[in-house]
Copies of this chain bind each other. A is one copy, B any other.
Amino acid sequence: MKTDLEIATAAKLKPIQSIINGLDILDEEWEPYGKYKAKLSLGLLDRLNNEKDGNLILVTSINPTPAGEGKSTVTVGLGQALKQLGKKTAIALREPSLGPVMGLKGGATGGGYSQVVPMEEINLHFTGDIHAITATNNALAALIDNHIFQGNQAQIDPRQITWKRVVDLNDRALRQVVVGLGGVKQGVPREDGFNITVASEIMAILCLANSYQDLKARLSKIVVGYRVDSSPVTVADLGVEGVLAMLLRDALKPNLVQTIEGVPAFIHGGPFANIAHGCNSLLATRMAGKLADYVVTEAGFGADLGAEKFLNIKSRAGNLDPKAVVIVATTRALKMHGGVEQDKLTEENLAALNEGLSNLAKHIETIESFGLPYVVALNHFTTDTAAEIKVIEDWCQARNISLALTTVWADGGKGGIELANQVIQKIAEQKVNFQPLYPLTASIKEKIDTIAKRVYGASTVKYSALAEQQINEFSQHGWGDLPICMAKTQYSLSDQPDQLGRPTDFTITIRELRPSIGAGFIVALTGEMLTMPGLPKQPAALKMDIDATGEITGLF
């Protein structure tokens, strides 16, 4: 069997100019980055401001296995199928982070015959967005420490600096560090730590900003730490929002590439899906909507995290109007939710499969609660048996749920035609009553309760003493009207990764809150969230190489 890299390398790409030519983009509105990548200027959105938006389709999934259920692959495949059906289509995805690429996870560019290309460039430095975010994040850190070193006019308490440095790598040795050592000429010693770049609030900001002005306004609101009297110190207090916005000038422009079948693909921004909202940039989604009649996009992890945040945070920030949701399921994940161990997921187990459908049922209810039409996509694996597929078909039929089997990995767009037809039909026939689950004016606790009970199915929410105190403080700081960004395990509907299926009668524990005031949300942590991954014993990096002509090998 060919690897993803081999399939991607064998694909015949169109020059990016040719993709551009198929869209309503003026010459002065784009710039090439190599032969197959482009950046689009924000002026395009101003010009097309009054145009109708294309139909926005969100791809999400049930709670995944550690290997993932192929959500990106289904997103690409559905886009390709819509194109095959003659629809003017674009897709919008997150851009991959180098750390996971070099660790374990593999790329985030789809797979098989449903990939975005050039995959090796997208998975490595791409158009430099993430590097620009790293530099901007760390410039702010250097400016903070320099501010303190040069007299500390803003009176930041060095023990209460919350802004961390970042690298776009899995580097556990940087999780907890002490900086500023070496005496009076090197600064003020203090405890510090590094996150992976995609966990930077600047990544979340870039992905929620609507314009350069909005970008700068959001940057200025970042809380970098506190004074001794507990009052927050912001970027505006340091007066550096201008230079930070300047460093992000090109990074804010959405990137355009293509799928293996020539569908325009916006790949832009990639915030964490736990301590951030986990979707590609709002500007990319909006731009895709102005340029295509159907836009397929994706949110991180399962519907309890990614879709909830897409609908409550991102859609609200950008006035998005989603028209349908695709919920991806696999027999593997369903069997896992039915109690099967990781190493037995490829074996037929109809009882477990049937049991595990409870997880799908809950995510369906969640999407219904947002007032949105949906289709379940069963992403086919070669180990699926006919009996297994029938169990799922019967289950859906009994409940009048639209189901489509997709074989987009093996067959490209052709393998998504059934799904595309059902999605088109849903959009044409079913009335949309989309609304976020909570109003912003609700209290922080009301908002958290709504998500925990209506999306996760929890019976109660418990707050730690720290969380209680923070809720009071945050409300006093005037942050009470922001949406909530839940940080929870992706593996379970609950906050316990081993509670599979559809847990009931459980408690969600809010341990701590974190302000992401620039991004425009309050993060509620239900457990320890690792914002700096580590490398495994045999990192994927060890297999990567280039030959004498610069050709890449070993990248997936």
- Residues 139-182 of chain A: 1 if any B CB is under 8 Å from the residue's CB, otherwise 0? 10111011001110000000000000101111111111111111
Decide: A102 near B149, CB < 8 A? Known: A245-B545, A542-B240: no
- Closest chain B CB from A218 CB (angstroms): 14
- Residues 64-97 of chain A: 1 if any B CB is under 8 Å from the residue's CB, otherwise 0? 0000000000000000000000000000000000
Q: Contact at A142–B125, with CB atoms within 8 Å? A: no
Q: Contact at B180–A181, with CB atoms within 8 Å? A: no
Q: Contact at A173–B142, with CB atoms within 8 Å? A: yes
This protein's copies in its complex: 2
Decide: A542 near B186, CB < 8 A? Known: A176-B181, A177-B177, A534-B149: no
* Total contacting residues, chain A, CB less than 8 A: 81
- Residues 513-556 of chain A: 1 if any B CB is under 8 Å from the residue's CB, otherwise 0? 00000000000000000000011110101111111111010110
Q: Contact at A243–B541, with CB atoms within 8 Å? A: yes
Query: Does A124 touch B at the CB level, under 8 Å?
Result: yes
By a beta-carbon cutoff of 8 Å, the part of chain A in contact with chain B is: 31-35, 39, 41-43, 98, 102, 124-125, 128, 131-132, 134-135, 138-139, 141-143, 145-146, 149-151, 165, 167-182, 185-188, 211-213, 216, 239-240, 242-243, 245-247, 249-250, 252, 534-537, 539, 541-550, 552, 554-555
- Closest chain B CB from A482 CB (angstroms): 24
Q: Identify A212's interface contact among B141, B151, B546, CB under 8 A.
A: B546
Nearest B residue to A46 by beta-carbon distance?
B549
Task: List residues of chain B with CB within 8 A of the CB of A41.
Answer: 550
A176 to B187, CA, bound (A): 10
Nearest B residue to A241 by beta-carbon distance?
B545
Decide: A186 near B179, CB < 8 A? Known: A245-B546, A246-B544: no
Task: List residues of chain B with CB within 8 A of the CB of A179.
Answer: 173-174, 177
Task: List residues of chain B with CB within 8 A of the CB of A186.
Answer: 172-173, 175-176
Q: Identify A546's interface contact among B125, B216, B534, B535, CB under 8 A.
A: B216
Q: Contact at A541–B139, with CB atoms within 8 Å? A: yes
Given A34-B39, A139-B169, 6 additional A-B pairs, CB 8 A: A31-B35, A146-B539, A165-B167, A172-B185, A212-B548, A249-B546
